[in-house]
Structure formats: C-alpha cells, structure tokens
Structure 1
Amino acid sequence: MIQIADASLFITGKRLEGSVVTVPSVVEELKDESARTTMELMDVRVEPPLQSLKKEVRLKAGVTRDSEELSGTDIDILAKALEYSRREETILVTDDFAIQNTAIQLGIRVMPAAQRKIKDVLLWQKQCIGCKRRFPEGDVCPVCGTQMKKVRKGKITSVKRLG
C-alpha cells in the first residue's frame, strides 16, 4: 500500500511504515528542522503531480466548493494521491478537512495524521451577510452588493472510518 503524505504528517512527527510519497511543494512547506528530519528518516519519495490530474482535482473541488480553501500544494497532493489510487491501494494522510473532503469525493481513502477524520462530505455555498440570500459562488452579493461568507449547504454521505 502506498501512503501519500501531506505536510501535517511530518509536522506532527508521526512516522509511517512502508512506502510514503509526497510532492515537491509539500517539502517546500516544511520550514521546521524536525519536520524535515522526520521526512528524511522515513525515506520518502518526492514526485511531482501530473498536470492532467491537477485539472481533475480542481473540477471535483469545484463541486464541493472546497476549491476556495485548497492551496496549490493541496491540489498537488490530491493529484498525486489520485494518480496512485488508480493503480494500487492508496491512503492519503492529511489533517486538512478540505483535502479530506475533496479526496473522498475523488474516491481516495484518507487517514488523519494527528487530528480527527471528517465524518461527512460537505457541500458549501455562499451566503450574503446582508440580505441572507444564498449563491453557489462569489465574494459580493449580486443582489445587494454586500460581502458573502461561505456556509454549509449540506452533506453528501457519511464517511466510514479506516480500520
């Protein structure tokens, strides 16, 4: 089984047995020396994500509206996990809820590094803080011109815990 690791794995200092892969942008995020040491001790392979899969990740993140929360590094790690999940058993190790939400929608198994795992896949939308109308996206209400905030639209399914 391949384990795709987000920065949270190395930052928490948790060590995994077996094959661990990450992406170059995760390595760049590791400023703490102990996090870098943890990564080096696990003999992690660092591989770039495929551009075609990054596009697929962005499309799926648009469905759940997690796209506003995901950084470039988040997209990279999701694309790498998607690549491996299509050819062998793969688990994405991350504490980031937006990454977990999108990964589950992509059919990727997830495991938290130190935090709890999400219980439900959530869908998001925007709500005007002035008139309270809801819209699928945007930062400014097209009706009254007030700022909008992200609110939960609903959930898709319960997420089963990994054994």
Structure 2
Amino acid sequence: MNAEFIKPFIASFINVLLTMAQTELKPGEALEKVDSKACGDVSGLIGMIGDDIKGSLSITFEESLALDIMHKMLGEKPTSVDDDVQDMVGEVVNMVCGGAKSTLAETSQEFGMATPIVVFGKNHTINHQVDGAKLVMPFTSEAGKAYLEICFNK
C-alpha cells in the first residue's frame, strides 16, 4: 500500500479530533491486519470508489474515548454507546474521509464516498469489502485508544 496515499487519512484524523473535539492523538506504528476483529468498542466504516481504485476506511474507538469525544464535541455526557454516540462516530469517519479526499484530489486521486455505517459491541468485527492488504494504525489519547484501518485494492 502506498504510504503517500495513506498519510492524508492519518493527517485528517488527527486534525478532525483536534479541531472538533480538542483531542490530541498520538500515532503508533502501523501494522498489517490479518483478521476482522475490531480493536475497540465502536467502529465507523466508509467505502470509497473511484475510476481505478476501490477501498474502505474504518475508525474504531474504545468506549472511553468515544464518550469523551461526544462530550467535547456536543456537550453531552452519555454513560454508554447510544444512538447519538454512534451518529457521532459515523460523522467523524465521514469528516476524516472527506478531509483525505480533498487532499488526494490535489494529486489526481479522486474517489466517491459511501454513507458510513457504524457497528459496536465488545468483539465486533469489521469487514472491508475490498481485496487488498489491510493496514491498522493505533492512536492513543488521554481518554483512550483509537484505531484507523484502511484497505485498498492497490
């Protein structure tokens, strides 16, 4: 997977959480992912397709981080992952993908975005409907961990 293609997604994720939720993320080391088990408690998944590229992006949050982001973004302080938290996770994934899309359009890498879906629960799975290597990038913050997964067919 081309690192120059992945960097805009990482930068967009860091920017969205810093700007929208005053949450600083520290990236860890990217690894190839070989299974479909999510590393956290609530995940947003969005598909992407262009003329010569097909892929998907997911962002998984530990519950503690998702609740903290919800509190910082909207002022609400839920005690568990509810419908509003799920909507917020979907919107974060949409903003991250949109930010990366804008950056990549400058290099003639254009794609359309699907509507995000959100799945949650302990030990849930994420199925990237794309044949290709899956990369997972862990992030840490004061409130918990997040994981950005990306998969493209080239």
Which bin holds the TM-score, normalised by the shorter protein? Answer: under 0.3
- What is the TM-score of this pair, normalised by structure 2? 0.27
Larger radius of gyration: 1
Q: What TM-score do you get using the length of structure 1 for normalisation?
A: 0.26
Higher relative contact order (CA 8 A, sep 6+): 2
